[in-house]
Amino acid sequence: MQHAETTGIIVAAQGNLMTVQFDGIVRQNEVVFVASQGRKLKGEVIEISGNEAKVQVFEPTRGVKLGDKVEFDKDLLTVELGPGLLTEVFDGLQNPLEKIAAQAGYFLPIGLYLPPIDRENKWDFTPSAKAGDIVERAYFLGSVPEGKIDHKIMVPFTFVGKGTVVSVAEKGSYTVDNVIATIKDEEGKVHDVTMIQHWPAKFPLRFGQRKLPTEQLVTACRIIDGPFAVAKGGTFATPGPFGAGKTVLQHQISKYADIEVVIVVACGERAGEVVEILKEFPELDDPKGGKLMDRTSIICNTSSMPVAARESSVYVGVTLAEYYRQMGVDTLMLADSTSRWAQALREMSGRLEEIPGEEAFPAYLASRIAELYERAGVLELADGSQGSLTIGGAVSPAGGNFEEPVTLNTLSVVGCFLGLSRARSDARRFPAIDPLISWSKYSDRFYENGDDIIKWRIDQIKIAQKFITESDEIGKKMSVVGEEGISMIDMVTYLKGEFYDACFLQQNAFDTVDSATMMDRQNEQLTLVMNILNKKFSFADRDIARSYFLDLTDKFIQWHYTPHKTDLYNEKKSEIKNLIEGA
Amino acid sequence: MVKTYNRIELIKGSIAQVKAEGVALGELAMIKTRDGRTTLGEVISFNHDKVNLQVYAGTRGLSTGDQVRFLNKSMEVSYGESMLGRVFNGSGVPIDNGPELMEESVEIGGPSFNPVKRIIPKRFVKTNIPMIDMFNSLVISQKIPIFSIPGEPYNELLARIASQTDADIVILGGMGLKFDDYQFFLNYFSKTGAMEKTTMFVHLASDPTVECILVPDMALAAAEKFAIKDKNVLVLLTDMTAFSDSLKEISISMEMVPSNRGYPGSLYSDLASRYEKAVDIDGSGSITIIAVTTMPGDDVTHPVPDNTGYITEGQFYLHNGVIDPFGSLSRLKQQVMGKVTREDHGDLANSMIRLYADAKKARDRESMGFRLSGWDQKLLTFADMFEDKMMSLDVNMDIDDQLNLGWEILAASFSPNEVGLKQQYVNQYGKWKTDNNG
């Protein structure tokens, strides 16, 4: 995109929406800088008409004057990619917040932009390509170790056509700005390649063949891994009213999911919640070694930070995740909350005076949500390896009512719906994922592609879930006719359903052992649960039945709290077995 | 170069338009009316040389020939020790017949706190009210609303918290206050001596709408300044529903597309940018926010309480003159319960709430005419004592006394093995007579 310098001046302003009169060529979504009071405020072109462009500014705009100069950057809003993204905390425009704090102190300064990736740090580069290799964009040239990730250095994503590697740096230590390879393009021009590259945040970064997700993403959360399983490369949404435990659930998943890279996007939520991640993750061990923070990158645009940058924060996060997928890594992006992101779209749409859709959300809300979740997926790369990107979005529906535009549009595009309910959280049944309304579309695919254990598991879960629906119906009946009004058989079914709920679906996120249950332990638990669900009991009366199941539940929960495969664990397990056989 | 403009081109809602150049967004303007009044306005938008001013005192009585002078600064609030004990309106003008403040001034609506500089809150806020300290402990830097309905004594509760707390400074932001409520606060603070450490920003129900929106910004800008200087500040905001209604009124008069029940689409962000000012600054002071949100129609899904619930760290429900022990929740209480306070705190509180829930069921059985078991009788005794001695908002006692009182109530109602508490705590803190023990 070669064109002469474009300049402009502010002719109108309201809130963070500016009208700029320009002279030259302007791209839609081009980045601009508004010079105001000696500072440069970053913004983005969102509408062009004649020689006037509408610009949304990402910063507070107090002090902007008529006639202030505007510079056009020629580039779209890009994300900087390279080694050093993990363990970092960025704002919605990918400014490194730790470095900003080191320079500016307690408060977020206006108009201070720092390079996201550290320029001084040295990385141990090992080449994999050699001179003479024919390459295309996204081909691997070599790699550097970043935490446990073998961070691939790739042919720039913006490289066009086939190229010939002219030179590759020797094994050694380099900064991200050092040239580590040169590549000749089809026209004979030689390009320098460093470890850093840039990609426009709002375009999907995807080079390779898309594949159907067939492998389960183990989250260590029983109710998800059981009835509402998520696929690696799939999508899921967790809508729920306030206080239902959305954020706790998201934190649990980000801690324990069996995945290599986690990108957490804290989008328009409380700053205090990010602080918990910031202070906890560097201390917590990753089950695979190292600390949790080593595999995590946080994009943090909390509720009091500029609304316009809240919109971009989600795109920055997903681009980072796509970048790691491009190396053949399994990545997970969690966005809390996509409702706040949608509200940012709504605010801007309102200022542009667009015709509003339902609840004043813009008419393009549905397509924006679909575009975002479609960036998830499994990708087969040029060298035959696979990477995946799983996207999980929290949704905060107004009044906890799922019949609202963001929830409805999200549900129509995701593969798994984990609906949190107030009733369950009030009854202290956590995680408050409601087993009666949630669903997952992935189980059938896992069944087709799975081994015997997976097939067994899915079959068992199906049987167990029937108890939940039946138990719910019997429970409703009981509340009308009383315990005496139902048959003994129904009473036992009801108790079995409650037992399965309490001992398998519910999980204590605050107990160090129970908070994360790995697959082999889950299968052991499921085996015992099924023994009970399948057993034909005969009780003398209802009170005996009730106290039997209460005792069983208590023992089961005590078992959950014992560390895996210890003596105490085996002891508790045999206590339960005896109790089952003795009945 | 201060230029005066003598012609207002357009007057509509709270907006006045003048033709001017070189004016910045957010800049203040002084409007001098022909009858000698002066009022402030703020530049909220411009289109070429047409500058729109939002007039703080409203446009009633403004004429096209009034003088407008731009002040080359944005809205500020005076700040300093001398503001303690004083009362200001939503424009920051003293309304207590005292002198104007001539000290340092701070811009309102300043930048937000860098999240990486935040720390995990862990300092206990004493209010000496058992339903707060004991069952839903407040933590410094917490932001929490009192959900209530008109007619409930929420302002009395705020006033009580203000005068009983150990905060260094209390800043009260009153929005849409009735004159009676305003006088109540003044009298209460003077009577209890809390006025010495209190500053009030008050928007009365009859004051111009725009000033209502300024109140939290003023209060929080001043609070932030104190917090940086090592003071623990408690900010009380009443009533955030009046604040939201003012936002609604203004946004609709500016022809912005409403989202839900007429409120602007930015309501969540508008509330969050205020509540998120709550902070515990590492090695310095802090801001804690307790707000009142009246729920129209007692409906928690109404946009104002609903958005608030997503922003704040818990909520207190004030119903029938008491803080409801079931719906109320302090999300940060785990940070201090049993850690900063006595070790038995958490278990004791949980156990009492569980028993109280059982007692409620027993009371239902009683009212339905069922025969009560011995256990039910015990529960009823417990519930009566609990309500009488702990739930009343008039109780004023230290947390350790509250815990002891809790044990006394348990001892008077149950035997030690019935309360479900660890034997170690029963032995150490229990109030049972030894011969009755076990």
User: What are the tens digits of pLDDT across the range A523-545?
Assistant: 999 999 999 999 999 999 888 99
d(CA B228, CA B281): 7
Average pLDDT rounded to a whole number, residues B62-82: 89
B234-289 residue pLDDT tens: 999 999 999 999 999 988 888 888 888 899 988 999 999 999 999 999 889 999 99
Q: Closest to A242 (Cβ–Cβ): which among B46, B260, B310?
A: B310
Task: Answer yes or no: do A66 and B21 touch at CB < 8 A.
Answer: yes
Q: How far apart are CA B55 and CA B32, in angstroms?
A: 12
Give the model's pLDDT for residue B434. Answer: 67
Report pLDDT for B373: 82
Please name the residues in contact with A112: beta carbons below 8 A apart, sequence gap of 6 or more: A95, A100, A103, A104
Q: What is the pLDDT of residue B356?
A: 92
Cβ separation of A106 and B24 shorter than 8 Å?
A: no
User: Does residue A509 have a pLDDT over 70?
Assistant: yes
- Per the CB < 8 Å rule, is A343 touching B114? no
Identify the pLDDT of residue A448. Answer: 93
As a CATH number, domain A210-440 is 3.40.50.300
CB contact under 8 A, A97 and B115: yes
| B372 part of contact set with chain A, CB < 8 Å | no
Q: How far apart are CA B289 and CA A18, in angstroms?
A: 34
- In CATH terms, is domain A122-195 a member of 2.40.50.140? no
Do the chains contact at A242 and B22, CB–CB below 8 Å?
no
Q: Determine the pLDDT at residue A489.
A: 93
Distance from CA of A145 to the nearest CA of B (A): 26
Chain A residues close to B44, C-beta within 8 Å: 14-15
DSSP A380-417: E-TTS-EEEEEEEEEE--GGG-S-SHHHHHHHTT-SEE
Nearest-CA distance B287 → chain A (Å): 13
CB contact under 8 A, B268 and A343: yes
By CA distance, what is A242's nearest residue in B? B310
Burial of B123 (0-12, 13-18, 19+ CB in 10 A): middle
- What would the CATH number be for the domain defined by B78-333? 3.40.50.12240
In this complex, is the C-beta atom of B74 within 8 Å of any C-beta atom belonging to chain A? Answer: yes
The pLDDT score that the predictor gives to residue A389 is: 98
Encoded tokens for A385 = 């390896």
pLDDT band at A121 (very low <50, low <70, confident <90, very high): very high
In sequence order, the β-bridge partners of residue A69 are: A9
Residues in chain B within 8 Å Cβ distance of A554: none
Average pLDDT over residues A232-238: 97
Chain A residue closest in CA terms to B314: A243
Report how far residue B113's alpha carbon sits from residue B295's, in angstroms, rounded to the nearest whole number: 30
**Alpha carbon distances (Å) from B92 to A149, B89, B100, B194, B309:** 56, 5, 9, 21, 29
CA torsion A35-A41-A45-A51 (nearest 10°) is -10
Chain A positions touching B269 (Cβ under 8 A) are 268, 303, 307, 343, 347
Least confident of A145-149, A571-575, B257-261: B257-261
Decide if pLDDT at B2 tops 80.
Answer: no
Q: Provide the chain B residues 201-260 that lie in CB contact (below 8 A) with chain A.
A: 228, 256-260
CB contact under 8 A, B269 and A343: yes
Q: What is the pLDDT of residue B3?
A: 78
Hey, is the C-beta of A101 within 8 angstroms of any chain B C-beta?
yes
Q: Evaluate if residue A1 carries a pLDDT over 60.
A: no
Instruction: For residue A272, list chain B residues with Cβ-Cβ distance below 8 A.
Output: 118, 121, 141, 313
Question: Which residue in A14, A142, A40 sits closest to A93, CA to CA?
Answer: A40
Q: Please list every residue in chain B whose beta carbon sits closer than 8 Å to the beta carbon of residue A357.
A: none
- A10 near A20, Cβ under 8 Å? yes
What's the pLDDT tens digit per position in A422-439?
A: 888 877 788 999 999 999
Which positions in chain B touch A361 (Cβ < 8 Å)?
A: 259
- The dotted CATH code for B4-74 is 2.40.10.170
Decide if A383 touches B, using CB distance below 8 A: no
Quote the ipTM score: 0.87
Residues from chain B contacting residue A15 (CB–CB below 8 Å): 44-45
From chain B residues 260-289, the ones with a CB under 8 A of any chain A CB are 260, 264-266, 268-269, 272-273, 276-277, 281
Q: If you average pLDDT over residues B86-93, what whole number do you get?
A: 91
Helix%, strand%, coil% for chain B, nearest 5: 40, 25, 35
pLDDT computed for residue A188 by the predictor: 94
Q: What pLDDT does B255 receive?
A: 81
Mean pLDDT, chain A, integer: 93
CA nearest A61 in B: which residue?
Answer: B25
Distance of alpha carbon A22 from alpha carbon A45, whole angstroms: 12
Show residues of chain A in contact with B293, CB under 8 Å. Answer: none
- Work out the average pLDDT over B178-187: 95
Per-residue pLDDT at B435: 52
Chain B contact probe: residue of A19, A68, A270, A354 with most B CBs at under 10 A? A270
pLDDT in tens, A278-322: 888 998 888 778 899 999 999 999 998 988 899 999 999 999 999
For residues A269-279, give the mean pLDDT.
88
pLDDT of A332 > 70? The answer is yes
Residue type at position A198 = H
3-state secondary structure of A12: strand
The per-residue pLDDT for B280 is 93
B346 touches chain A (CB under 8 A): no
* Chain-chain contact of A279 with B301 (C-beta, under 8 angstroms): no
- Touching A: B residues 21-50, CB under 8 Å: 21-27, 44-49
pLDDT at A517: 94
The token pair that represents A14 in the structure block: 């309201």
Task: State pTM to two decimals.
Answer: 0.92
According to the model, what pLDDT value does residue A4 have? Answer: 63
pLDDT digits (tens, 9 = 90+) for B335-349: 999 999 999 999 899
* pLDDT of A108 higher than 70: yes
pLDDT score, position B367:
87
Kindly report the average pLDDT of chain B as a whole number: 91
A339-368: average pLDDT: 90
Instruction: Evaluate if residue A569 carries a pLDDT over 90.
Output: yes
Q: Where are the domains of chain A?
A: 7-76, 122-195, 210-440, 452-582
Number of CB pairs < 8 Å for A and B? 162
Higher pLDDT, B242 or A399: B242
Percent of chain A at pLDDT > 90 equals 79
Q: Determine the average pLDDT of the residues in B89-100.
A: 89
What does the domain layout of chain B look like in residue ranges? 4-74, 78-333, 345-436
CB contact under 8 A, A13 and B45: yes
Sign, CA dihedral B290-B296-B299-B304, equals negative
The pLDDT of residue A3: 52
Confidence grade of residue B437 (pLDDT, cut at 50, 70, 90): very low
Q: Indicate the SS3 state at residue A496.
A: helix
Fold of the domain spanning A452-582: 1.10.1140
B46, B116, B120: residue with CB nearest A276 = B120
Better-predicted residue by pLDDT, A179 or B108: A179
pLDDT per residue as tens digits for the range A76-103: 999 999 999 999 999 999 999 999 999 9
The answer to whether the CB atoms of B47 and A300 lie below 8 A apart is no
Condensed to tens digits (0 to 9), the pLDDT of residues B286-302 reads 999 999 999 999 998 89
What's the alpha-carbon Rg for chain B, to the nearest Å? 25
The verdict on a CB contact (< 8 Å) between A106 and B259 is no
What pLDDT band is residue A345 in, cutting at 50, 70 and 90? very high
Nearest residue of B to residue A300, measured between CA atoms: B115
pLDDT at B375: 86
Interchain contact, A63 vs B117, CB within 8 Å:
no
Furthest CA-CA distance within chain B: 90
Strand ranges (E), A66-180: 69-76, 78-81, 89-90, 122-127, 134-135, 140-146, 149-154, 163-168, 172-175
Fold of the domain built from segment(s) A7-76 = Thrombin, subunit H (2.40.10)
* Residues of chain A contacting residue B260, judged by C-beta atoms under 8 Å apart: 359-360, 398
Distance CA(A92)–CA(A313), nearest Å, equals 4
Q: Do A65 and B25 count as a contact with CB atoms less than 8 A apart?
A: yes
Mean pLDDT calculated for residue range A105-109: 92
